Structure 1
Amino acid sequence: MASPQDSVAKTNDQKSTVSARITGEGGKPPSHALISICKSLVAGGVAGGVSRTAVAPLERLKILLQVQNRHNVKYNGTVQGLKYIWKTEGFRGMFKGNGTNCARIIPNSAVKFFSYEQASNGILSLYRLQTGNEEAQLTPLLRLGAGACAGIIAMSATYPMDLVRGRLTVQTEASPQQYRGIFNALSTVFREEGARALYKGWLPSVIGVIPYVGLNFSVYESLKDWLIQTKPLGIAQDSELSVTTRLACGAAAGTIGQTVAYPLDVIRRRMQMGGWKGAASIVSADGKGLEYTGMVDAFRKTVKYEGFGALYKGLVPNSVKVVPSIAIAFVSYEMVKDVLGVEVRISD
């Protein structure tokens, strides 16, 4: 039979448990947790905006290469394509669509990084519970899963912005349909093509984001852990990596992720252009203009009319873009969190 003292102790333990759940780990009040969440979201948003603006010209060229008509080739490569844009559209042409891109990527990046932190923490807790090892750490495969969850959540939340960003980026002075801006494009697509049109290409995006974002986080975090643990050539000091080394880790992660997922990005972009009045001259593969009934049909027609290599159109400028973009995003995120005083990094 339990003594009165045991009953009191048990009640106090239960109260402590409830209090811990309410206040969060370490007894932090809800306001502290909310501030930490906001700081994390701000860091992710800044990272996305800075990284994408830095490579905006290459981003636009990649999309133009992905959707151009093979019977009317204007862009033959990275250098020639950038020169052509500069010659025909000037400085503003180099950054066309970047405002829309940032309006999409800032919330996308904020949600992505925050979702990864939450997903990785949840997966780690379940993993430790399953294995019974409180010291267990995330494996590369578990990081891949956390990254995939984060990518799907972030992409789905901001997908309509990605669709109109692609159309604004492809739009030229000769395009019959002229969108005046982000909100005009959103309202026009909704009015003329219906609500479902705002999510054209969503399926290949979901499938593509799993290896892309998943591998980005998994490779970046795993590579950092390996360098800290093995310290090859004395590259890590006191469990910390230099900015240059972290940039290299981010570059490796971005290169691997985008190479695996790139064909799905091409198909997504072509599906997004379908149904756009006057867009056939841009996206047609046989000179007559094509409509896609779905992801598989888009793959089939692209390969049939243009060959397997068409699935990698724009890969070179995208590779040149991805190396600094992903690297800058990861490092910017960690640096902004340091400046804002957020205790937990994605590695933790």
Structure 2
Amino acid sequence: MGEGTGSSVVREPNNYKKGEVPPTTTAQSQAINKYSVEYIVRSGIAGGVSGSCAKTLIAPLDRIKILFQTSNPHYTKYTGSLVGLVEAAKHIWINDGIRGFYQGHSVTLIRIFPYAAIKFVAYEQVRNLLIPSSNYEVPWRRILSGSLAGLCSVFVTYPLDLLRVRLAYVTEHKSKVRLIDFIRAIYHEPASTTLTSRRYIPKWFAHWCNFYRGYCPTVLGMIPYAGVSFFAHDCLHDLLRIPLCAPYTVIKISEQEKDRRSQQNQRTPLTTWAELGAGGLAGMASQTAAYPFEIIRRRLQVSTLTATNAHEHKFQSIGGIARIIYKERGWRGFFVGLSIGYIKVTPMVACSFFVYERMKWHLGI
């Protein structure tokens, strides 16, 4: 018995090629420190790619939704129904062709990669701080982790979002649309009187704040949007991993691979349909929670473009825009385009979480 045991130990390395060792003893099998630069870079790449894929997927719907939300005079007649959505798409196709659906998309991609990268990196880091172990897995910590991650990402990339909306809003092209012209126009628009009335605030700074028109409602909307999105996704993941569902929702991998991944603190990913379903439902929940703030934000972002007199051309407040929306359409005005929002957000968030989870799996984090 002793000889047999010793013999098996001696021969075990011969099962591998020269220079190879069992997977469980390789450096790649060790869990990467979640606070390390390597982990942050990998999760950032995964997040950026996932966001870019998701935004490209729904870019045509995003253009139409922005036109509806901002009450573009050429598209108000199409709002309120799915038939109107189809008619609006036809209108864009006839006037601008396929390029019309992707107007402003280059700015979207420039914005979305750092936005998604920062959001997912921030979520991973904040979640590790707020939920260091399973004992801290409570709803408010999950929601707060997502909300803080969303706030970090939106602060850095908001000016690019404003430019994207301005580009998407324009439907009449008397000349070639140039990004630099939009940047100059936004900078020279009337600045907030709250800032210009303060002597200690430089004039140039007040005008640079024009690139943050609608930022406050964005922050207010991001708190429920990102928080609910990550919270719902995590909860659905937990639900789909219970023993009753796991045989149908979790990818089947070999025991050796499972052991190797467990040493990296990686959970076996869900099947494609389960992951997409969880992401889609999370997107619908977050969209419903944050949509009124998104309406106010979009109207603020184009308020100077829709102004008809000098008074309206001034920097609008959140309350002022909210009153205008309510006066125009009542409470329903805060949910204009929500059906399109669902059609857009469901595949977008589903794609985003799916690509992110798969990239994390392949990047070993």
Q: TM-score, normalised by structure 2?
A: 0.75
The answer for the alignment partner of 1:253 in structure 2 is 282
The answer for the alignment partner of 2:41 in structure 1 is 38
In the alignment, residue 45 of structure 1 is paired with which amino acid? G
Q: How far 1:151 sits from its partner (Å)? A: 0.5
The answer for the alignment partner of 2:270 in structure 1 is 241
Q: Which one of the candidate residues 320, 331, 336 is aligned to 1:297?
A: 320
The answer for the alignment partner of 1:316 in structure 2 is 339
In the alignment, residue 216 of structure 2 is paired with which amino acid? L
In the alignment, residue 40 of structure 2 is paired with which amino acid? I
1:1-348 to 2 correspondences below 5 Å? 33-69=36-72, 73-76=76-79, 77-125=84-132, 135-173=134-172, 179-181=177-179, 183-193=180-190, 194-232=207-245, 234-237=247-250, 240-276=269-305, 279-280=306-307, 293-339=316-362, 341-343=363-365
CA distance in 2, matches of 1:338, 1:233: 18
CA distance in 1, matches of 2:37, 2:151: 23
Cα 1:62/1:202, change in 2 over 3 Å: same
CA distance in 1, matches of 2:148, 2:336: 27
CA distance in 2, matches of 1:302, 1:190: 26
Cα 1:135/1:96, change in 2 over 3 Å: closer
Cα 1:28/1:66, change in 2 over 3 Å: closer
Structure 2, unmatched stretches of 5+, are 1-29, 191-206, 253-267
Q: How far 1:280 sits from its partner (Å)? A: 3.2
Q: How far 1:192 sits from its partner (Å)? A: 3.9
Cα 1:145/1:173, change in 2 over 3 Å: same
In the alignment, residue 94 of structure 2 is paired with which amino acid? K
> What are the Cα deviations for residues 199-239 of structure 1, in whole angstroms up to 9, with x where unaligned?
11111000100110111100001110122125338433465
Q: Which protein has the larger Cα radius of gyration, Structure 1 or Structure 2? A: 2
Cα 1:334/1:203, change in 2 over 3 Å: same
Cα 1:160/1:233, change in 2 over 3 Å: closer
> What are the Cα deviations for residues 62-87 of structure 1, in whole angstroms up to 9, with x where unaligned?
00001125697353422111111111
Cα 1:71/1:36, change in 2 over 3 Å: closer
Cα 1:34/1:80, change in 2 over 3 Å: same
Paired residues of 1:57 and 1:94 also in contact (CA < 8 A): yes
Cα 1:175/1:68, change in 2 over 3 Å: farther
The answer for the alignment partner of 2:14 in structure 1 is none
CA distance in 2, matches of 1:236, 1:27: 25
CA distance in 2, matches of 1:175, 1:66: 23
Give the secondary structure class of the aligned counterpart of 1:219. Answer: helix
Give the secondary structure class of the aligned counterpart of 2:103. Answer: coil
Paired residues of 1:60 and 1:95 also in contact (CA < 8 A): yes
Paired residues of 1:40 and 1:342 also in contact (CA < 8 A): no
CA distance in 2, matches of 1:301, 1:150: 31
Cα 1:179/1:40, change in 2 over 3 Å: same
Q: How far 1:175 sits from its partner (Å)? A: 7.3
Paired residues of 1:228 and 1:240 also in contact (CA < 8 A): no
Q: How far 1:144 sits from its partner (Å)? A: 0.6
Cα 1:28/1:118, change in 2 over 3 Å: closer
CA distance in 1, matches of 2:160, 2:275: 30
Q: How far 1:27 sits from its partner (Å)? A: 9.8
Q: How far 1:92 sits from its partner (Å)? A: 0.2
Q: TM-score, normalised by structure 1?
A: 0.79
CA distance in 2, matches of 1:140, 1:124: 11
CA distance in 1, matches of 2:284, 2:102: 23
Cα 1:60/1:308, change in 2 over 3 Å: same
CA distance in 2, matches of 1:73, 1:174: 19
CA distance in 1, matches of 2:43, 2:302: 34
Aligned length: 299
> What are the Cα deviations for residues 171-220 of structure 1, in whole angstroms up to 9, with x where unaligned?
122579x7502x44234312444111111111100010011011110000
